[in-house]
Amino acid sequence: MAYDFDTIATNYDRMNRLMTLGLDRRWRKRAVRGLHGNVLDVACGTGDMVVSLAEQGCTVTGVDISEEMLAIAKRKAPQATYMLADAEQLPFEDSSFDAVTCAFGVRNFVHLEQGLSEMLRVLKPGGTMVILELATPDNILIKPFYNFYTKHLIPWLGSRIAGNRAAYTYLPESIVRFPKGEAFVQIMEKLGGRTTERKLFFGVCRSYKIVKKQRGRST
């Protein structure tokens, strides 16, 4: 079953700013640089990616399965169109969007490949998909700090600030379970996207740029 973000919606933005010391906003802005046209933001949550896309002139549609998260997005970025919809069954025609984005969302899909295939399906051939995800760092010097931070400090912050230790214990656990780097690149290539990975902040955040292959072409 999908994790229920309704329960943490109210404190979601505050926790993000605290946990990443504000870097999450910069990561989103950097990731969507260069995108234009009609963009679908999947798992849009409270709308921070929608804001970044709208700031550079994109026409944005945001979808999410959490009503509470969507309610905040609608207040924060009212210029976009929003729908309560599951990434694994998107209510759009094939090739509807110039670009598709998803920040910190795919890690929460129940059926990862189903969601990613749907995102590729609604993207125009040759269009770009941008996926931002959290990951464990590769550097062995950074790892002990990262482990302490995610296993102890984040759950503590979650209980103090959001009153929800369980949600912020789920977060680091879901990061460890999720395929990162080359493993994720391979999944996207198999599904039909030419994929490049960029590591941000020692690799604790990864930005994947995926170009949908044209039909009938192998490269």
Ligand X SMILES: C[S@@+](CC[C@H](N)C(=O)[O-])C[C@H]1O[C@@H](n2cnc3c(N)ncnc32)[C@H](O)[C@@H]1O
Give me the residues that bind ligand X (CB under 6 A), please: 2, 5, 43-45, 48-49, 63-66, 69, 86-88, 103-105, 108-109, 115
Of 9 and 185, CB closest to ligand X:
9
| Min dist. Cβ of residue 145 to ligand X (A) | 22
Listed in sequence order, the residues at least 6 apart from 96 whose beta carbon sits closer than 8 Å to its beta carbon are: 38, 40, 122, 124
Of 86 and 98, CB closest to ligand X:
86
Of 22 and 126, CB closest to ligand X:
22
| Min dist. Cβ of residue 96 to ligand X (A) | 16
Of 96 and 125, CB closest to ligand X:
96
| Min dist. Cβ of residue 194 to ligand X (A) | 23
| Min dist. Cβ of residue 161 to ligand X (A) | 16
Helix, strand or coil, per DSSP, at residue 204: coil
HSE-up (13 A, CA, CB side) for residue 182: 1
**How do beta strands 205-212 and 123-134 pair?**
antiparallel
Q: What is the DSSP string of 30-93?
A: HHHTT--SEEEEET-TTSHHHHHHHHTT-EEEEEES-HHHHHHHHHH-TTSEEEE--GGG--S-
Of 109 and 178, CB closest to ligand X:
109
Helix (H) or strand (E) holding 188: helix 182-191
| Min dist. Cβ of residue 101 to ligand X (A) | 8
Q: Which residue of the chain is nearest ligand X when measured via CB? A: 45
